[in-house]
């Protein structure tokens, strides 16, 4: 981070909105966003944010009100998020591909006062808002829904400073709940400012950031938008991911940065017709959201070069808990990385070198909305319990061995799925793998693997079992190996082990 960037961030007074205002003011006519509607300069983006703020005020929303959106990536979506941060509202962005039942629950649980639908999701917004009993508006012209955006420019300029205090909740991020219902993670200005500063301080961004974003900015990919704007870069928004679409956009826009989940990187690796120079302009490819098998990490480096940066975080401590730099990937492809500066990490309830990763510091959430008991449990003793099990290697790097709830206890022994997955993924016939436990009368839980073969390859189950036995011992060997065309995934592209356990327990 340059001296100017650091000074601007430090001057923010702990408010995320002030960082946004500073970026808009400093970068003027440079291009801030590119989407399907065209290019938007920082100056024009500022005018768009001012329009959104006037509209929220016109609709009677007051400080602390929740502004919800459901949209595929577009500039107006982030402009409304920015207006919420600056105006002291709470921004809530539904995952566009999420389940309708969860989306409706989230709207009601959050107390959202309006829902704004964007590209591809206006009809969904209208239906959800009707059932939730709240007002609905659209980012685009639509006969069935009133427009959110006024036809005339804002009557006043952006304010000099954002509204609010450091501990004000400005974002609600919903995550899976132990009861089956999503939990509303309350994120303050303090947490989101910390997230932005840590990304700027520790991720090795190129001097010219042209951030190509195929993943939803409603979730993890959105964490790279503000660091890009602070640096005066350009955010190139895509409405979904495809190998050909990503490759074409990377070339056309000379993209230098991207953010992906591992399944997207896997799709690039497995695409037979991907041009050899498709990622030649990419300097930094950040991946997060789920583990990536070490064998695939090495394959990606060999194919695309040392461009990969892994960031580990979760909704409760967004995006910047651990980082694995580009230079460390080849030597430690199984690692999640080292702590970002400014937070403490500890392994709790450690047994045989494995414990639950816990986090303390200004990055951490303020609790779960309306769930004081769950909040107290997760934040007991001042430490955020992540639910992830890890160990620290002699090289000082943390390694994730699985979710605490996903640990398999077979015959009285602990089996960590990530370690078995890493062995199976080394096999040249394997494209993707997930290991999970299913109930077993004899063993308590049976180690089970679901494997996706590479195109034109056949899986030899006995060879996989032999490899696991040699590397980890007999207890870790999958008693059942299933073959599928693809792994079941959540709406965010993560392997869905709940669905896998349900499917193969019943089968």
Residue-wise pLDDT for 108-140, tens only, equals: 999 999 999 999 999 999 999 999 999 999 999
pLDDT at 176 over 80: no
Place of tokens 């995550």: 175
The mean pLDDT value for 191-197 works out to 97
Q: How many CA atoms lie within 13 A of 330 on its CB side?
A: 8
Q: How confident is the model at residue 165 (pLDDT cuts 50, 70, 90)?
A: very high
pLDDT at 489 over 80: yes
Residues 260, 264: Cα–Cα separation, whole Å: 6
In sign, the C-alpha dihedral spanning 412, 418, 424, 426 is: negative
Q: What mean pLDDT is reported for the chain?
A: 92
Instruction: At 501, give phi and psi (nearest 5°).
Output: -60, -40
In sign, the C-alpha dihedral spanning 127, 130, 131, 133 is: positive
435 forms beta bridges with 449
Q: How confident is the model at residue 374 (pLDDT cuts 50, 70, 90)?
A: very high
Counted residue by residue, the chain has a size of 507
Residue-wise pLDDT for 351-369, tens only, equals: 889 999 999 999 999 999 9
Tokens (6 digits) for 451:
């494997």
Residues 256, 228: Cα–Cα separation, whole Å: 11
398 forms beta bridges with 337, 392
C-alpha distances in angstroms, 18 versus 46, 168, 240, 369?
A: 13, 14, 30, 25
Q: How confident is the model at residue 498 (pLDDT cuts 50, 70, 90)?
A: confident
Q: For residue 239, how many other CB atoms are within 10 A of its CB? A: 17
The third-level CATH classification (topology) of the domain covering 3-191 is Rossmann fold (3.40.50)
Residue-wise pLDDT for 251-260, tens only, equals: 999 999 999 9
What is the predicted pLDDT for the residue at 6?
45
- Burial of 120-141, coded b for 16+ CB within 10 Å and e otherwise, reads bbbebbbebbeebebbbbbbbe
The mean pLDDT value for 7-31 works out to 83
Nearest to 398 by CA among 346, 470, 466: 346
Strands 354-360 and 344-351: antiparallel
Q: How confident is the model at residue 32 (pLDDT cuts 50, 70, 90)?
A: very high
| Torsion from C-alpha of 82, 88, 94, 96, nearest 10 degrees | -20
In sequence order, which ranges of 254-370 are alpha helices (DSSP H)?
A: 262-270, 294-304
Could you say which architecture CATH assigns to the domain 407-506? 2-Layer Sandwich (3.30)
Question: Which residue ranges does the chain devote to CATH 3.30.300.30?
Answer: 407-506
Question: Which residue ranges does the chain devote to CATH 3.40.50.12780?
Answer: 3-191
Tokens (6 digits) for 446:
């049976």
The mean pLDDT value for 452-469 works out to 93
Of the candidate ranges 128-137, 404-413, 423-432, the one whose mean pLDDT is the lowest: 404-413
Residues 281, 261: Cα–Cα separation, whole Å: 19
Residue-wise pLDDT for 56-110, tens only, equals: 999 999 999 999 999 999 999 999 999 999 999 999 999 888 888 889 999 999 9
pLDDT at 7 over 60: no
What is the predicted pLDDT for the residue at 14?
87
- Burial of 357-386, coded b for 16+ CB within 10 Å and e otherwise, reads bbbbbbbbbbbbbebeeebeebbeeebbbb
Residue-wise pLDDT for 224-274, tens only, equals: 999 999 999 999 999 999 999 999 999 999 999 999 988 899 899 989 889
What is the predicted pLDDT for the residue at 79?
98
What is the predicted pLDDT for the residue at 10?
47
Tokens (6 digits) for 261:
């989940």
181 forms beta bridges with none
Exposed (0-12), middle (13-18) or buried (19+): which is 302, by Cβ within 10 Å?
A: exposed
What is the predicted pLDDT for the residue at 180?
59
% of the chain exceeding 70 in pLDDT: 95
Strands 38-41 and 257-260: unpaired
Q: How confident is the model at residue 9 (pLDDT cuts 50, 70, 90)?
A: very low
Please answer whether residues 87 and 43 qualify as being in contact, where contact means their C-beta atoms are separated by less than 8 angstroms.
Answer: no
The mean pLDDT value for 296-306 works out to 95
Residues 71, 240: Cα–Cα separation, whole Å: 11
Residues 282, 208: Cα–Cα separation, whole Å: 11
Which H helix or E strand runs over 160?
none
What is the predicted pLDDT for the residue at 383?
97
Q: How confident is the model at residue 506 (pLDDT cuts 50, 70, 90)?
A: low
pLDDT at 490 over 90: no
C-alpha distances in angstroms, 208 versus 2, 211, 229, 277, 360?
A: 13, 9, 11, 19, 33
């Amino acid at each position: 981070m340059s001296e100017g960037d650091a000074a601007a961030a430090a001057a923010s007074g702990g408010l995320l909105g002030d960082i946004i205002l500073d970026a808009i003011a400093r970068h003027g006519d440079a291009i801030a966003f590119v989407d399907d509607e065209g290019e938007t300069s920082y100056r024009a983006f500022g005018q768009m944010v001012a329009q959104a703020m006037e509209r929220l005020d016109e609709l009677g929303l007051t400080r602390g009100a929740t502004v919800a959106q459901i949209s595929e990536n577009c500039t107006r979506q982030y402009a409304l998020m920015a207006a919420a941060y600056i105006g002291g509202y709470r921004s809530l962005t539904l995952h566009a591909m999420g389940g309708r039942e969860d989306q409706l629950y989230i709207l009601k649980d959050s107390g959202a006062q309006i829902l704004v639908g964007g590209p591809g999701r206006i009809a969904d917004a209208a239906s959800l808002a009707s059932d939730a009993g709240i007002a609905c508006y659209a980012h685009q012209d639509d006969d069935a829904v009133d427009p959110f955006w006024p036809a005339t420019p804002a009557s006043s300029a952006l304010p000099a400073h954002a509204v609010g205090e450091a501990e004000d909740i400005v974002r609600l991020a919903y995550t899976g709940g132990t009861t089956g219902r999503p939990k509303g993670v309350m994120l303050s200005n303090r947490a989101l400012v910390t997230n932005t500063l840590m990304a700027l301080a520790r991720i090795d961004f190129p001097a010219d950031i042209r951030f190509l974003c195929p993943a939803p900015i409603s979730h993890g990919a959105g964490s790279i938008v503000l660091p890009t704007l602070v640096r005066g870069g350009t955010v190139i928004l895509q409405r979904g991911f495809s190998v050909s679409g990503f490759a074409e956009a990377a070339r056309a826009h000379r993209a230098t940065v991207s953010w992906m989940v591992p399944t997207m990187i896997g799709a690039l690796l497995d695409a037979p017709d991907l041009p050899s120079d498709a990622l030649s302009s990419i300097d930094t490819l950040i991946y997060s959201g789920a583990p990536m098998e070490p064998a695939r990490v090495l394959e990606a480096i060999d194919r695309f070069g040392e461009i990969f940066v892994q960031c580990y975080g979760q909704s409760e401590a967004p995006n910047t808990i651990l980082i694995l730099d580009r230079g460390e990937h080849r030597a430690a492809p199984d690692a999640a990385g080292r702590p970002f500066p400014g937070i403490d990490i500890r392994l709790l309830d450690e047994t045989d070198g494995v414990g639950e990763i816990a986090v303390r510091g200004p990055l951490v959430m303020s609790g779960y909305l309306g769930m004081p008991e769950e909040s107290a449990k997760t934040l007991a003793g001042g430490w955020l319990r992540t639910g992830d099990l890890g160990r620290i290697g002699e090289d000082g790097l943390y390694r994730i061995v699985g979710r605490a709830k996903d640990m398999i206890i077979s015959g009285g022994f602990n089996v960590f799925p990530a370690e078995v997955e890493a062995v199976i993924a080394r096999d040249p016939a394997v494209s993707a793998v997930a290991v999970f436990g299913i109930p077993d009368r004899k063993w308590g839980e049976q180690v089970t693997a679901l494997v996706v073969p590479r195109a034109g390859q056949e899986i030899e189950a006995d060879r996989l079992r032999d490899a696991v036995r040699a590397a980890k011992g007999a207890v870790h060997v999958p008693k059942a190996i299933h073959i599928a065309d693809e792994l079941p995934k959540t709406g965010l592209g993560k392997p869905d082990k709940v669905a896998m356990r349900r499917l193969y327990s019943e089968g």
